[in-house]
Amino acid sequence: MTTPYAIYPARITERRAETSGVYTFTMRFTDPGIRRSYRFKAGQFNMIYAFGVGEVPISIVSDPEEPEALQHTIRIVGRVTEVMGRWKVGDIVGVRGPYGNGWPVDEARGRDVVIVTGGLGCAPVVGLINYIFRRRDQYGELHILHGVKTPNDLLYRERFDEWRRAPRTRVYLTADRPDKSWHYRIGVVTQLFDELAVPASSVAMMCGPEVMMRLAARAFRDKGISEDAIFLSMERRMECAVGLCGHCQYREYFACKDGPVFSYRAVRELFRTTGI
């Protein structure tokens, strides 16, 4: 009998600064048995623990086919992540998981995929894009839409450029408040939908501020994409990740075990009201 709250130590084997305040850590469970048996699906997350300080949900961005080397991209925003930002190679951290349902990568196979992110950029989306690139022939056209407030908020600039050069891939970048260095589009992310031409059979996946996702979802529906093929990754406070602590409730759902990825059909009604 093991408590679902049990934590397992993992060693950091690589630390990469993505941009200021965002780091990608590679970590391996120290226990060989756990390391070998651990499996996850694209888009699932782990609870990552800083000794004595706290535990926070962080998506797994590495590929499910290499489950021994887990990668997590962490943005430093507050109490716990500040401590994580100081982690070095060789440090031992705590991991439990994987949790959540992950991205619908199987459903999307063979179809065109539209990926939308906004605001400060979403680590899980990078994992998803990488996942698709590694299996590029299994998917149709790939559209990546990303909107930021200012050019400074654009993380992974080189990666966007790299993706842009890839075959059957289109990248749309826009900024609300551009500066001289900005040579992409200007305006909010939703303006990009007008020029986006995708078949109704496409699958849309998104992650970002709720307002953005709500508008994007509506735009896709207007393009004829079924509500069941539009997916949103929802963020809620999580203290247990196993559906017991109650914090991630989203009306009838628990974001940790029923999500964090939901179809638009499932949550559309909840967008009507604020404060849920």
Partner 1 sequence: MTEPMYMPKAALENLIALLRGDGYKVLGPVSRDAGVAFEEVRAVSDLAAGVRDSQEAGRYRLEPGVPGEIFGVVNGAGSLKPFFFAPDENLIEVRREGKSFKSSEVIPPPRRLAFVGVRACDLAAVAVQDRIFLHDRFRDTHYETRRKDVFMVAVNCTRSAPTCFCASMKTGPEATAGFDLSLTEMDECFVAKSGSSAGEAMLERLGLRTASAGEAEQARTLTDRCAAGMRRQLDTSDLPRLLYEQADSPRWKEVASRCLSCTNCTMVCPTCFCHAVVDQQEIDGNMSRRVRQWDSCFSLEHAHIHGINFRPRIEDRYRQWLTHKLASWIDQFGTSGCVGCGRCITWCPVGIDLTQEVAAIRASAIK
Partner 2 sequence: MKPRVAVFKFASCDGCQLQFLNAEDELLRLAGQVDLVYFPEARSRSLPGPYDIAFVEGSITTPDDARRIIRVREESRYLVTIGACATAGGIQALRNWADVEQYRRVVYPSPEFISTLSTSTPISEHVRVDFEVWGCPIDKGQLLAVTRSLLSGAKPVLPAYSVCMECKRRGNVCVVVARGEPCLGPVTRTGCGALCPALNRGCYGCFGPANDENMESFVKLLAQQGVTGDDAVRRLRGINGYVRLWRETADAIAAQKK
Ligand X SMILES: Cc1cc2nc3c(=O)[nH]c(=O)nc-3n(C[C@H](O)[C@H](O)[C@H](O)COP(=O)(O)OP(=O)(O)OC[C@H]3O[C@@H](n4cnc5c(N)ncnc54)[C@H](O)[C@@H]3O)c2cc1C
Interface with partner 2 by CB under 8 A: which residues?
50-54, 78-80, 82-83, 86
240 φ, ψ to 5°?
-125, -35
Tell the smallest beta-carbon distance from residue 88 to partner 2 (Å): 13
Give alpha helix (H) positions in 10-89.
Answer: 32-37, 79-84
Q: Given candidates 237, 244, 246, 276, which one binds ligand X under the rule CB under 6 A?
A: 237
Interface positions, 31-50, toward partner 1 (CB under 8 A): 49
253 is a site residue for ligand X (CB under 6 A): no
Which is nearer to partner 1, 204 or 206 (by Cβ)? 206
Stretch that binds partner 1, among 149-157, 176-184, 217-225, 236-244 (CB under 8 A): 236-244
Nearer Cβ to partner 1, position 17 or 276?
276
Q: Specify the amino acid at residue 29.
A: F
**C-beta of 9: minimal distance to partner 1 in Å?**
5
> Which residues are within 8 A (CB) of 9 and not within 5 positions of it... i.e. 6 or more apart?
29, 30, 31, 92, 93, 94, 95
Gyration radius (Cα) of the chain, Å: 18
Say whether residue 186 binds ligand X (CB under 6 A): no
Handedness of CA 171, 174, 180, 183 (dihedral sign): positive
* Phi, psi of 154, rounded to the nearest 5 degrees: -85, 110
C-beta of 86: minimal distance to partner 2 in Å? 7
C-alpha distances in Å from residue 3, one per residue of 28, 39, 144, 189, 239: 21, 19, 40, 43, 14
45 binds, among partner 2, ligand X, partner 1, none (CB under 5 to 8 A by kind): ligand X
53 binds partner 1 (CB under 8 A): yes
